[in-house]
Amino acid sequence: MKTSRITYQGNLRTGAIHLKSGNNIITDAPTDNQGNGEAFSPTDLVATALGSCMITIIGIKAQTSPINIDDIKVDITKIMGSNPRAISEIIVEFDFLGKSYTKKEQQIIENAAKTCPVALSLNPAIKQTVSFNF
């Protein structure tokens, strides 16, 4: 089953539709690479996918533990390298908004994040810097 369909919309913009749900996203080339930067760039989506995947897997583990992760936040910083132009590092910063977790719960959260499918799928040359602000 196909996952998505992407259409070039001109001016370095694409539109993508998730075929199962019908949800749409657009991408723009970033301003430092001839684009308008009016939406996520494709490499922004890669970095964002890492954080989204981590928080999703934490959520799955939290349901079975149970651990309250309501309203946790994760900030993503993507760092581009040059020669070749590629993602060199993704910084993932979790904020647990004053929640209190046992050491065991913290370990469950950290292990879940670091073993999410996107983290395991990225090229090992991309440095993944992950911090957990408990």
Per-residue pLDDT reduced to its tens digit, 24-51: 999 999 999 999 999 999 999 999 999 9
**AA letter at 38:** E
| pLDDT for residue 22 is more than 90 | yes
Structure tokens belonging to residue 106 = 């913290």
Residue 124: asked if its preceding bond is cis (omega within 30°), the reply is: no
User: What is the model's pTM?
Assistant: 0.93
* Percentage, residues of the chain above pLDDT 70: 100
- DSSP for 38-65 reads -S--HHHHHHHHHHHHHHHHHHHHHHHT
Q: Where are the domains of the chain?
A: 4-33, 42-133
Structure tokens belonging to residue 2 = 């196909």
| pLDDT for residue 105 is more than 90 | yes
- CATH for 42-133 (3.30.499.10, 3.40.50.1360, 3.40.50.300, 3.30.300.20): 3.30.300.20
CA distance 118 to 39: 21
